[in-house]
Structures are given as structure tokens and as C-alpha cells.
Amino acid sequence: MSFPFSDDHDMIREAVRGVLQDAYDGGKGPEHIYKSGAGYDAELWTSFAQDLGMAGIAIDEAYGGAALGDLGRVVIMEELGASLASIPFSPCSTIASDMIAGVGSDEAKEEWLPKIAAGEAIFAYTDGHHALTVEGGKLSGRVNMVLYGAQADVLLMSFRDGDKFKLIGIPQGVKGYGAETVETMDPTRSFSNITLQDVMMKDVMHLGEGTPEQFDAIVKTSFIGLAAECVGGAQKALDMTLEYLGQRVQFGRPIASFQAIKHRAADMYIAIEAARNAVYAAAMAEGDDKVEAALIAKAYASDAFFDVAGHAIQLHGGIGFTWEYPLHYFFKRARANRAVFGQSAREYERLATILLGEAA
Amino acid sequence: MSTLRDEFRDWLNDNLKGEYECLRWRGMPGDDEAYPELRKIWEAKLGEAGWIGLDWPSEYGGRGASDADIIELAEEYAEHGGPGRCGHIGETLLAPTLLAYGTKEQQDKYLPGIKNGTEFWCQGYSEPGAGSDLANVKTKARLENGEWIIDGQKIWTSLALESDYIFVVARAEPGSVGNKGLVFLLVKLDQPGVDIRPIKQMSGSSEFNEVYFTEAKCAEGDIVGKVGDGWRVAMALLAFERGTSTIGQQMTFKNELNAVIKLAKQNGAANDPLIRTRIAKAYTELQIMKFGFRRTLSSDQMSGADFTSKIFWSTWHRNLGELAADVMGASAEIINEGEFSALQKLFLYSRADTIYGGTNQIQRNIIAERALGMPREPRGGQMVTKG
């Protein structure tokens, strides 16, 4: 493997790919999971998190993690994007573990990071500061479209308390907590709407606090994982397309030999490589540069994934439009990423504000 | 600890001033006609101070600079508004080619002039009938009485009028076709058999020229490689283009984007949501190019960043030209004192970027065939055009 990855990263990529291949019958894909409507593959998550030990890829060694940072996570997210595996790595092992590591108290870190690393607890995260109210020691409100919210043992939420943001953890099944799985256009993952009705604050775990800027930075840098998933998904869509183009014969030759086809495939590759640059740059960035690099990665890679998946369907012709052929899952995943995590216009406006100031 | 970069910064502060002050930010692609004579004197100053060929072997005056050093120095140069380099073709393209494929005699003969910033080179590849189909060169070379005799025509030759030498790809085996039978020759421009005619471009300037050879001559020893190696050497030279020679360009791009941002803030275009998005995207893609370049320099084998860099930067730059014109608005149309402004030049000249050095269409073919392994289009050698 080449820059920026090390031998450790290569080994992880190989191991993750192997587990996904085994789980999905030599690459036939996780359709049985999608068809079940659950969007969650519990068996795979167990082998991935517990047997393979991947849930703590970026967690400090002191807490039982592998301390391989964002580059390690990028490797895994690329593979998960390519396989569209239905496991909660993204919420649990990117944003939730970063929240605890970043703004959590020492006790919270000591209690929960080892559990995440060992695959013993699933965490999800959502920002509740517009949605939650606290009155008389009771928490109420509703948050929608929480990734793997229904499967989470603990739902992390942030909310505003004066100048600070607080990080709380709501254990699954606490009184007043309701999680309702939503059927979505993207069947590869599980989204839930969460209702909190008079949840007693004493039943809630107080895990940490920080400035709104700290929370914002953690959310933004967690986009690096999402962006890597987009790169992996886009690459897989291109690979499937190239395979098909080489086989499909029209006018007496494989359609891969037609320039109109080749040029579109080249454009897909250009977009993927550019997204790759953005993602790897963000994974390697440090300090203040990291948030900006993460915004760039998220904006560019999520658009590239959607465009590439669309081109892939076009280049496949009729077969790409069928339900049976698995290309549409990539298209739907790409679209869902934009829907749930925001469209690139938001990141571009934020970058514009950095470059140009606020619009008058 | 003083680094090469610190040393260079001090040197630029001490030297890029006074009579050279007017050179700041000038002479980039599209502005090549700015102060050609003074820029050559500037090159000699750079050479004299040892700022050319820092990564060459020590026997030719290199200072053991790493790729990282070269990047830092290019950044420093661009931050000071260092003028466009007339010596870049010699320093970043020909010199590495001679170091890799040239003879000791050729290295001794040609490297010092490049190193001193006193001898300038241009590239004789394209011909009227050999543009995208570069292997179709018709310029002929024959060996006669211990000299190469060259007949033919090159076109789109950047900086030919400002140069002392040209490296020429020519056909030495009569009847050979395509990339067979070619030679790579080192030819002095100031001789009776060479005629240079500038081409006036849509940007108003004349970076590009036609170069006619009528029994032009060079010594028998001025061939790099052997007869038949011309294509291999020519391609190896192009491979250096993906390396260090693009660093300065990235810095120029940054300066140009900054100029667009500055204008947008001044004239209120920065409040237009569509302009804001385009500027943010331009910045995003510039950062992407920067890291792609790092990927290229940091890996031994070709990566996706290598295959895609030409089409990515050229398209980016052309888009930046359009963005610049849109930020200027109606005033983009007005010519002040008979001369295009820097942003007008950017807008017009950047149309060339997606054409020279392999058009975007050729780049897509290369990506499809070499990076993606797609089949070649059937070649049209036998095709007959109806008259």
C-alpha cells in the first residue's frame, strides 16, 4: 500500500475485508439484512467489534483501543462503504467515542471507552440542543433520524446549559425513553426516532461538558469517517461498473471500448481520487487545520459519491435500474448521507465565511 | 536553526527589490511577455546565489535538497511574488532528463548554463500534424558528416523567442511510423537554419511560437539516448512534469485565488451566494490538489493522484478564470489603457490549460486505458477521409 498508509493499516484493511467477505458469502452482499428491514447485522457487529477488535481502532491504548487514529478509521470506513455492511461502527466508533474522549470526564472515559473498544457497548450520538427541554429535573423532547439509535445501549446527547454544552448518556430502556425504527429509502442502515418523555435527570449519565466550539469541532472532524465511507462506496460503484462495461457487448465490441463510456468512467475516477486526497489530507491534518480539512473532505466526498453512484447506474443501463442488481443501494446510501448529515452547500458556506466573511 | 527556507527568505528580502521590484507577481503563464530581459537577469541572480538545481547531484552544484525543501522554497518564492521563471523548462524538465539519460559530456556541456541561470530551453514536441497524436511527428533528422541535419516544423513552442536551446523530437529512420525511429536532439536556436515566428493568442500575448527548421544543425553527440530512443526519452521528460515542476504552479494558483477573493470582497461579489459557493469550491479543490501533490511525491509507484493531476488542475484553473471574470462582472469587458488586466489574462489564458500538455480528452483516454484498464479505441490508421 502506498502513502499515507502503513503496514498496520494494510493489515487492518485485509482483516476487515476478510471478515466482510466471510459474512457476506464471498461478496454476494448483505441483501438478506436489507430485506429483513432491520438495517442491522448483529452477528457481524459481534465478530467485527468483539472478535476482530475493530470498534476501538482510534481509542487510546490506555482504554484498550488500537490508537490508530483517523487513518485507521479511514481504512475501516472505506471498507464499510464498499460493502455497505449494516453495523454501527460509524456512530459508535467515530463520533460517540470521540465525544467521550474529547469532552468526557475522566470517570466517563474510564468507564465507557474500554467498553466501546471491547465491543461491549453500542453508542449512538445526536445533538439535542434544539430539541430537548429540561424542566423540574425532567428531560423531554424528540430527535429524529438517529443512526443506530434503536440499537444503542447508550444514546449520547449534547445540550446547552448556559455557556457550556453538556454531554449526557441515556441508557436504553430508561423510563420515558422510546426508540422507533424508521423505514427509510436507504435499507442498508438503521435510523430511529427517539422520544424522551419526562426522563428523570437522575436516571441520565452526566458524562462531560465543554464549549459549544469543542462540540462543534468533534462533530465536524467525525465527518472524516463519513467521507471515507463515501470514497469506499464510490470506488465500489466504479469497480462494479468497470466489470460490467468489460462484459457487455454492443455493436460487436465491449462497451468499455467506446470513448463516450471511457470518458465518463474517467470522470468517475477523477472525482474519487480527488475525494481520496481530501479524506486522507483530513485524516492527517492536525490542530486547527483539521476542522477545515474535515469540512472539505465531507463536502467533496459526499458529492463525489452521489455523482459516481448516479453515473454508475447510467453506465449500467437497464440492469442498473433493477432492484435485484445491488447498485441502487450505493445510490441510496449516497443520497441518505446528504439527507441526514447535510448537503455540501452547508460546508461550502462555512468555508466561504472563513474566506470572505459573513455575507451582507 | 536556520533552514534553506530561512536562507532563501532572507535572500529574497534582500534582492527582490529596487530595480527588480517591478517583477513581483509578474511573468506567470499568460503574462510571459512581462520584462523578459530583466527576468533573465533575475534568473542569473538566482543562479549566482545558488538557488537553481538545489536537488541535483553535488558534482553539478546541488545542495542535497529534499523534495520537502523544494516545496518549501517554491512556497517561499511564491509568497514573495517571485516572478515567473524563464528557466523552469531547463531546470525542472531537461536537467533531470539529462541526469537520467544524458552522457557525461552532455551533462558537462548543458547543466552549468541551466544552473547559472544564463541559458534557457524550450520544448520542441508538437507539430501542426502532431498535437494530441504526438507520435505522428514529421520533423526529420539525418546524420551527415558528423552532424545532425534537421528539417521540419514545431508549433506551440513556449518561450522559443526567449530561449537559447530547444530539445527536438524528430524522425531519424525514414519510413518509420508512430513512436518508432525517433531521436531526441539538443539544438541551438541561434543559427541560420532556425526561424521562430510568434503566434498571437486569444489572450493577446504570444507565449507560443512556431519554430521552422531548414537544414538546422546540431553535433552528432547532441542526441540523448540512441536512434529510436526518442520517444522513451521524450516521455521520461514529461514524467518529470508531474514532479517538482508543478510546485511553483500551485503557489501561483493560490495567489490567483487570493486575488479573486480580494476583489470579491472589494466589489461586493462576496455577498452573492453563488459566487460564495464557487469560491469555497475553488479553495476546496486547491487544497485537494495540494494533498494530491504530496501523495505523488510520497509514493514510489504511480498513484491515482498522478493520473488525475493534469486534468484536475487544468480544469480547476479554467474554472478559476471564469470565476474571476464573473467576480469582475461587467467590468471584465473593459480594457484599460490597451492592456488586459491580470484577471482578464487569467480568464483568457486559462483556456489553453485544458489543451496543452495533453488535452482533457486525451487525459481521459489515458486514465481510462492506463488507470482503469479499459480497452483502446480501434485506431484509425487505415481510415480514409472523404474529400
Confidence band, pLDDT 50/70/90 cuts, at residue B240: confident
- Say yes or no for a CB contact (<8 Å) between B279 and A356: yes
- Say yes or no for a CB contact (<8 Å) between A274 and B311: no
Task: Read off the pLDDT of residues B152-193 as tens digits, 9 standing for 90 and up.
Answer: 999 999 999 999 999 999 999 999 999 999 999 999 999 999
Closest listed residue to residue A54, CA positions, set A34, A39, A33, A75: A75
Query: Is the CB of residue B270 less than 8 Å from the CB of residue B253?
Result: no
Unique residue bearing C-alpha cell 457481524: A44
- Say yes or no for a CB contact (<8 Å) between A266 and B368: yes
Give the residues across from A339 on adjacent strands: none
Q: Is the pLDDT of residue B346 over 70?
A: yes
Measured CB to CB, residues of chain A less than 8 Å from chain B are: 2-4, 242, 245-246, 253-254, 256-259, 261-263, 265-267, 269-270, 272-274, 276-278, 280-281, 293, 296, 299-300, 345, 347-349, 351-352, 355-357, 359-360
Query: Is the CB of residue B216 less than 8 Å from the CB of residue B159?
Result: no
The verdict on whether B241 is a catalytic residue reads yes
CA B115 to chain A, closest CA, distance in angstroms equals 32
Task: Read off the pLDDT of residues B18-56 as tens digits, 9 standing for 90 and up.
Answer: 999 999 989 887 788 899 999 999 999 999 999 999 999
* Test the B interface: residue of A70, A244, A257, A356 with most B CBs within 10 Å: A356
Q: How many residues does chain A have?
A: 360
Please give the average per-residue pLDDT across B342-355, as a whole number: 94
Please give the average per-residue pLDDT across B291-314, as a whole number: 85
Q: What is the pLDDT of residue B2?
A: 61
Q: What is the pLDDT of residue B350?
A: 94
Q: What is the pLDDT of residue B242?
A: 60
Q: Is the pLDDT of residue B203 over 50?
A: yes
Q: Is the pLDDT of residue B245 over 80?
A: no
Confidence band, pLDDT 50/70/90 cuts, at residue B380: low
CA A76 to chain B, closest CA, distance in angstroms equals 20
Task: Read off the pLDDT of residues A148-201 as tens digits, 9 standing for 90 and up.
Answer: 999 999 999 998 888 999 999 999 989 999 999 999 999 999 999 999 999 999
CA A257 to chain B, closest CA, distance in angstroms equals 5
Q: Is the pLDDT of residue B351 over 50?
A: yes
Confidence band, pLDDT 50/70/90 cuts, at residue A49: very high
Q: What is the pLDDT of residue B304?
A: 80
What b/e readout covers B206-242, taking b as 16+ CB neighbours within 10 angstroms? ebbbbbbbeebbbeeebbbbeeebbbbbbebbbebbb
The pTM of this model reads 0.92
Task: Read off the pLDDT of residues A282-299 as tens digits, 9 standing for 90 and up.
Answer: 999 998 899 999 999 999
- Say yes or no for a CB contact (<8 Å) between A262 and B288: no
Task: Read off the pLDDT of residues B70-116 as tens digits, 9 standing for 90 and up.
Answer: 888 888 898 898 999 999 999 999 999 999 999 999 999 999 999 99
Q: Is the pLDDT of residue B244 over 60?
A: no
Closest listed residue to residue A272, CA positions, set A299, A233, A310: A233
Give dist(CA B277, CA B268) in Å, integer: 15
3-state secondary structure string across B19-75: HHHHHCCCCCCCCCCCCHHHHHHHHHHHHHCCCCCCCCCHHHCCCCCCHHHHHHHHH
Grid cell listed for A16: 476487515
Please give the average per-residue pLDDT across B304-316, as a whole number: 91
Average pLDDT, chain A: 94
- Say yes or no for a CB contact (<8 Å) between B368 and A4: no
Give dist(CA A312, CA A110) in Å, integer: 46
A47 or A28, higher pLDDT? A47
> Out of B76, B207, B241, B285, which one is annotated catalytic?
B241
Q: What is the pLDDT of residue B69?
A: 86
Chain A and chain B share a number of CB contacts under 8 A equal to 138
Confidence band, pLDDT 50/70/90 cuts, at residue B387: very low
A255 phi and psi angles, rounded to 5 deg: -65, -15
Write out residues 323-382 of B within 8 Å (CB-CB) of A: 361, 363-365, 367-369, 371-378
Give dist(CA B381, CA A125) in Å, integer: 62
Query: Is the CB of residue B167 less than 8 Å from the CB of residue B121?
Result: yes
The burial of B50, by beta-carbon neighbours within 10 Å (0-12 exposed, 13-18 middle, 19 or more buried), is given as: middle
Among A4, A258, A270, beta carbon nearest to B312:
A270
Q: Is the pLDDT of residue A21 over 90?
A: no
